[in-house]
Structure 1
Amino acid sequence: MTHTDNDSPLEGGKTQWRRSIQAARTAVTAQQQVSESSRLVAAVADLDAGVVCCYVPYGSEPGSLALLDRLREQGSRVLLPVIPPERGPLDWAEYTGTETLGKGEFMPVLEPQGPRLGPEAIADADVVLTPALAVDKRGVRLGKGAGYYDRSLVLTSPGTDLIAVIRDAELVDELPAEPHDVRMHAVLTPDRGLHRLP
């Protein structure tokens, strides 16, 4: 394994994991993604939450706009991230339908175009459905490395249910962990549905 001068062995390990999972994700077919998305939509049918922080999937990330619409149909208020210009915590805005989404100002990710609610809005969430590349059986989450969610999840309220949305093969035995990592309480996958972690 090759490290740069600024790469600790821990970060080097995360880099290897990211490369491996992102390579696997590039092989996901459109048909597979549609099938997985429909199963994830079905899996949130029993999710009873007043406020859900979620995300708009980008590229081959699991999830869909249909999942956001299902949450709204079930009565949840859905908040989506707005990526800030600097690497701080995410801002949030309410999702009120696909027609209100537009390209983000700083990244090519769809974002809600309504009023910004501030980073602290995540504290109102009963559930946070979080994107991830992988999660281990201890709840350690591997993100893409930008740190937006690391800085945001620490702002959640006690008792907020933290659920990572991943593919079944992305639930692994063990990932590199750091003391500041915010552990996931569960994963949502196409085959397992909502799967609680110990």
Structure 2
Amino acid sequence: MSDAIADAKRALRAELRERRQLLSEPAREAAEAGIHAQLDALVDEHGARSISCFLSTMAEPGTRSFVTDAVGRGVRVLLPVTRVDGLLDWAVATPEGDIAEGMYGLPEPVGELLGPIAVNDVDLLVIPAAAVDRNGMRLGWGRGFFDKTLGSMERCPPVYAVVYDSEVLDDLPSDVHDQPVTGIVTPTRTITLAPTRR
């Protein structure tokens, strides 16, 4: 990655992180309710019986109530667990939903770990992002877990990144290893983009 691209990404991440920190509690709660409704509709639209999703941090658009309800409805939900080698293991979400602090302070499920290839069997991937542009380019938080995962999948199902409405941007700095997404989920809408995946 060129220094100019890396610097642009770093600056943008810092700005987005700061904006997220300033959100009020009522704004966070409203965003989580909106994300929940959008993701429910997305799962129904795709007829998804098995999905991957992430457990949101305090600063991210909330996904936890959606995960709990999806599990209650019989949807198989795989949750990511970070590994030292930069790949992701997966654990099946359970009704108890035990959560511990994983690497980088991220919330992660407690339970039996499935290897990185477990995600190859899902119908839909729901992943975190700092921002997404209108071409489907996703800006992550710089650790590359999801870019590695998407880049290694033989048959990638639809991939939707979850962001706040203000984080859907016209254009983002990107490099060769960055993986595009199929669509964007915000608290107020779901945007399905023109296919750009391989």
Query: Same fold by TM-score, threshold 0.5 exceeded?
Result: yes
Matched, 1:39 2:37: no
Which residue does 1:100 correspond to in 2?
A: 98
* CA drift at 1:197: 1.5
Structure with greater proportional helix content: 2
- Alpha-carbon distance in structure 2 between the residues aligned to 1:186 and 1:158: 17
Q: In the TM superposition, what whole-angstrom CA distance separates every residue of 1:123-177 from its partner, at most 9, and x where no partner exists?
A: 1111110000000011100011011111112233425010000011100000012
1:65 aligns to 2:61 (yes or no): no
Instruction: Quote the offset at 1:196 in angstroms.
Output: 0.7
CA distance in structure 2 between the partners assigned to 1:180 and 1:82 by the alignment: 21
Once the two structures are overlaid, the 10-residue window that deviates more, 153-162 or 182-191, is 153-162
Percent identity of paired positions between Structure 1 and Structure 2: 31
Judging changes above 3 Å, is the alpha-carbon distance between structure 1 residues 99 and 158 closer, same or farther for their aligned structure 2 residues?
closer
User: Which residue is equivalent to 1:134?
Assistant: 131
What is the identity, as a one-letter code, of the residue corresponding to 2:110? Q
On the 8 A contact 1:124/1:157 being kept in 2, the answer is no
Q: 2:162, 2:154 → 1: CA distance?
A: 20
Q: Find the aligned partners of 1:108 and 1:180 in 2 and give their Cα distance.
A: 25
Q: Give the C-alpha shift of residue 83 in structure 1.
A: 1.1
Paired with 2:96 and 2:167, the residues of 1 have a C-alpha distance of 28
Q: Does 1:186 align with 2:183?
A: yes
Match of 2:13 in 1: 18
- The residue aligned with 1:195 is 191
- TM-score, scaled relative to structure 1: 0.89
TM-score (ref. length: structure 2) = 0.89
Structure 2 unmatched runs, 5+: none
The amino acid across from 1:182 in the alignment is Q
| Structure 1 gap ranges (5+) | 1-5
**Which amino acid in the other structure matches residue 37 of structure 1?**
E
Q: Distance in 2 between matches of 1:144 and 1:34?
A: 23
Q: Aligned runs of 1:151-166 on 2, under 5 Å?
A: 151-166=148-163
Aligned-residue offset at 1:98: 4.3
CA distance in 1, matches of 2:20, 2:97: 28
Aligned residues: 190
